[in-house]
Amino acid sequence: MGGRIVPALRERSTPAPARAAASVKNPHHDHGVAAAATARTAPPATAQPARPLASPWRWRGRAGRRRAVIAAAALVALVAALALAAHQQVLAAAAPFVRAVADAPAADAIVVLGARIHADGRPYSLLVDRLVTAEDLWRHGKAPRIVLSGRGGGGVGDDEVAAMRRFLAARGVPDAALVDDPLGLRTIDTMQRCRDVYGVARALVVTNPFHVHRAVFLARSVGLAAHGVEAPYGHDYGTATMLRNRAREVAARVWAWCEVAVAGR
């Protein structure tokens, strides 16, 4: 009987305030315990990759590229328009001064612009057309002299001036009527030398139809009272050759305009 009474007495011997304090739960402690239990029992969450934010630089780069393409296209269009205008101005400036052989006015000299020759010194057909027309003008009394302007010196296959002289001499044109200009390497050089070296004021410039407008434009730009005479085509040059010559001449006309209007030559 005594053994059963002792535990009861021990329980009752605990002070009332201590029992009350033990019965009150600590809310912070319970929260931490619950969180730890949740962490132990909940399955691990699968990590989701973060979506990258759209960078403003990305869109700015695309817009910049579009603007660059538009600017480049506008620049190309502007250059093409200016080139076309220059080309047309050369044609328009020279057109009133292009003549046929029968309509050519009297002049101080007939100027033949050099062109390619064969390795054996014979002129190519385009140059033959020019020389035949120059002879025709001389025989019609349009001018007393024929200036042969082109690349001089070197071997037989390089000397354009000697090739032209031989061709006309073989056709009966006397040496006294022929003037050699071995430094006429470019059309504008020929015109300046005719004015400054050979004392030509009025000139009949003989060249092929695709070239005559540029030649007249440059001649008049240096102060010559020049008229152009188209050398009729004496051969069938083929479509490819003619297209190549005309396409090259378009660029040459634009360059001639730049030399005169921009460089002031």
**pLDDT average, residue stretch 10-35:** 48
Q: Are the beta carbons of 225 and 109 closer than 8 angstroms?
A: no
- 106-122 pLDDT, tens digit each: 999 999 999 999 999 99
Would residue 113 count as lying in a domain? yes
Would residue 158 count as lying in a domain? yes
Please tell me the distance from the alpha carbon of residue 125 to that of residue 234, in angstroms, as a whole number. Answer: 8
- The residue among 3 and 86 whose pLDDT is bigger is 86
Q: What is the pLDDT of residue 54?
A: 54
Q: What is the pLDDT of residue 262?
A: 82
Would residue 40 count as lying in a domain? no
Would residue 49 count as lying in a domain? no
Would residue 161 count as lying in a domain? yes
Q: What is the pLDDT of residue 20?
A: 47
CA dihedral 236, 90, 227, 240 (to 10 degrees): -10
The domain spanning residue 136 has which CATH number? 3.40.50.620
Consecutive H or E run containing 149: strand 146-149
pTM of the model: 0.72
Three-state DSSP state, 69: helix
- 216-228 pLDDT, tens digit each: 999 999 999 999 9
- The residue among 98 and 259 whose pLDDT is bigger is 98
Would residue 59 count as lying in a domain? no
Chain position carrying tokens 């020049």: 226
**Is the per-residue pLDDT at 4 higher than 60?**
no
Q: What is the pLDDT of residue 69?
A: 87
Label the pairing between strands 202-207 and 109-113.
Answer: parallel
- 40-79 pLDDT, tens digit each: 555 555 656 666 655 554 546 778 788 888 989 999 999 9
- 176-210 pLDDT, tens digit each: 999 999 999 999 999 999 999 999 999 999 999 99
Would residue 5 count as lying in a domain? no
Three-state DSSP state, 123: strand
> Could you give the number of structural domains in the chain?
1
Would residue 225 count as lying in a domain? yes
Supply the range of the domain harboring residue 199.
92-262
